[in-house]
Amino acid sequence: MKVLFLFDDLILGQEPIGVTTISAVLKQNGHECEAINSDQTPNPSDLIEAVAKRKPNLLAVSTCTGQHKEMLARTRILKEALGLPVIYGGPHPTFFPEMIEDPGADVVCRSEGEYPMLEYVTAMQEGRDYRNTPNLWVKKDGEITRNGVRPNLDDLDSLPFSDKELVRPFEHLWKDGIGYFITARGCPFDCTFCYNHAQREIESGPNVRRRSPANVIKELIETKERYGFRYIAFQDDVFLIQNRWLNDFLPMMRDQVRLPFHCHSIANVMRSEELTAQLAEAGCLRIFFAVETGDEATRLRILKKPVKNSDLFRARDLCEKNGIDIVSSIMVGIPGETLESILGTIAMVIKTRVHCMIVHFFMPYPGTELGDEAVSCNAFDGNFDLLPACNHDNLVTNVNGPADLIEAIGQYGYWFLEKPWKFYATRFLINTIKSHKIRMAWMRYLKSTIRYFPESVYHLPEKEWVEASIQKLDKAYQQRCKTSSPPQNQHLPVASGALAMGAK
């Protein structure tokens, strides 16, 4: 059975590890998988030709809210022209499975897809009925079968390594020598803007699950040797949890892999100077943690993200002391956003002294608590089909202030971080001049001065820094090997609970 995955530029911003793991499971069981970038064939006839020449038995699409509209339009065309069945998975189908009613979809997979997909594909190949497969909503003969969601897969080590050959044709993913990996699934936090809390409502079984350190290291070594990776991007929601796991993993990363990496965290778990030093020694160059908003009360009560301003400053100090760069992000357009609050957010990012910043405009995604709140308070009309695929460009919610000015400040955020004096000048002008026309004229002037993308846009380190880090890791390893009695790894005290990065 041959499965053709339809990608687009958005999902190919990095390796889509969920999809490549599904591909690995399918290949492990004798099926064939291939992928194309449907954005490279925007003309319908070219897309039909590109799909037809690969002779698939099934089309598979992973999609997010906003992205789903264009992908459904494409699969409608392909179904009509080629008569192929189409299965959808990913965040949007998980929380909005009603998309099964669209003519462009035959099956929707909710939540984790490795084994639901395998069971579906195998049943198709063998001519068996697949309508009662857990996790799937199936449309057949005009009727829709809505199945429940099976318990989460507990043993992640039982999965094959992600199928990087599936994305081998996409050269941009390989040119910088970056390998994308996950060590865990799930997130222990309940931020209202994120899907994790909503996912727990439809799933059962353990939420946060982690591969064994040995399993991760084995994959890193194998892929480093096979593909020549020079930099590792860990894509876990929160990498810095579970001290016991980190105590085992980081020395192995330092001694056996010896590649620089970045990871994602949350500032409130970054409490241990010892662990931050261990991270740096193992090759961590950058840590991602989000400011989200400069208003602590909004962050704690509305976003329900348990990060105080003091947590941000402590994480900043730990990273600076150990030579680790910070990549942060903000969210513009949270329900209740005002001119004062967006200015406070930019000011907080500057105070945190982050090296890179990612600007997100709040998206009221279906199934999220804050998305529902945005609808109830009339910040959003509830039409998810109007949401854009990309959340970096424009406001989509109603705000408590001049929307065009708030949007312009968010759009210019990168340059404010690059040149803080421009931010302070802008804040002074806004606070002293009440004319909306003059304020907007100033923002248009600032945009007219843009001649380049600032360094703060790019969240991956420069190649020279990566290569220097590799040399440093190799040199330190060689020095340790020369030591007749190498020092034992300094293990941190393991606090109780799942989170414990030096928790009190």
CATH code of the domain in which 411 resides = 3.80.30.20
Say which residue, 10 or 56, is predicted with more confidence.
Answer: 56
If asked whether residues 318 and 415 sit together in one domain, one would say yes
Question: What is the CATH number for 87?
Answer: 3.40.50.280
| Residue 369 lies inside a defined structural domain of this protein | yes
pLDDT-based confidence at 491, cuts 50/70/90? very low
Do 183 and 215 touch, CB atoms closer than 8 A?
no
CA distance 348 to 344: 6
Task: Answer whether residue 501 shows pLDDT above 70.
Answer: no
Residues 133 and 230 both lie in one domain: no
Whether residues 197 and 129 share a domain: the answer is no
What pLDDT does 449 receive? Answer: 87
Identify which of 233, 340, 337 has the alpha carbon closest to the alpha carbon of residue 285: 233
195 with 139, same domain?
Answer: no
Residues 11 and 80 in one domain: yes
Predicted confidence (pLDDT) at residue 474 exceeds the cutoff of 70: yes
Both 117 and 197 in one domain: the answer is no
Q: Say whether pLDDT at 196 is over 90.
A: no
Specify whether 231 is located in the same domain as 127: no
Residue 154 lies in a domain: no
Decide if 14 is inside a domain. yes
Q: Which of 123-137, 209-223, 348-362 has the lowest mean pLDDT?
A: 348-362
**Structure-token match 């330092």, residue found:** 254
Confidence of residue 468 (pLDDT cuts 50, 70, 90): confident
For residue 343, tell me if it sits in a domain.
Answer: yes
Percent of the chain at pLDDT > 90 equals 78
Find the mean pLDDT for residues 140-167: 96
Closest CA to 267 of 299, 331, 232, 310: 310
Q: Are residues 201 and 241 in the same domain?
A: yes
Average pLDDT over residues 154-159: 97
482 pLDDT exceeds 70? Answer: yes
Least confident segment among 270-274, 365-369, 454-458: 454-458
Q: 405-422 pLDDT, tens per residue? A: 999 999 998 889 889 999
| 120 touches 87 (CB < 8 A) | yes
- Predicted confidence (pLDDT) per residue in 369-405, tens digit: 999 999 999 999 988 888 898 888 899 999 999 999 9
pLDDT higher than threshold 60 for residue 494:
no
In a domain? residue 153: no
Give the tens place of pLDDT for each residue, 172-182: 999 889 999 99
User: Measuring CA to CA, which residue among 291, 275, 285 is closest to residue 240?
Assistant: 275
For all residues of the chain together, what is the average pLDDT?
A: 91
**Cα distance between residue 192 and residue 369, in whole Å:** 5
Question: What residues make up the domain containing 452?
Answer: 178-457
pLDDT of residue 500: 36
Structural domains counted in the chain? 2
pLDDT over threshold 80, residue 493: no
pLDDT at position 455 is 57
* Rounded mean pLDDT, 273-298: 95
pLDDT confidence tier of residue 459, bands split at 50, 70 and 90: low
Nearest-angstrom CA–CA distance, 290 and 327: 8
Residue 439: CA count within 13 A, CB half-sphere: 20
- Asked if the structure places residue 468 within a domain, the reply is no
Q: How many CB atoms lie within 10 A of CB 106?
A: 20
Tell whether 124 and 197 lie within a shared domain: no
Is residue 224, in this structure, part of any structural domain at all?
yes
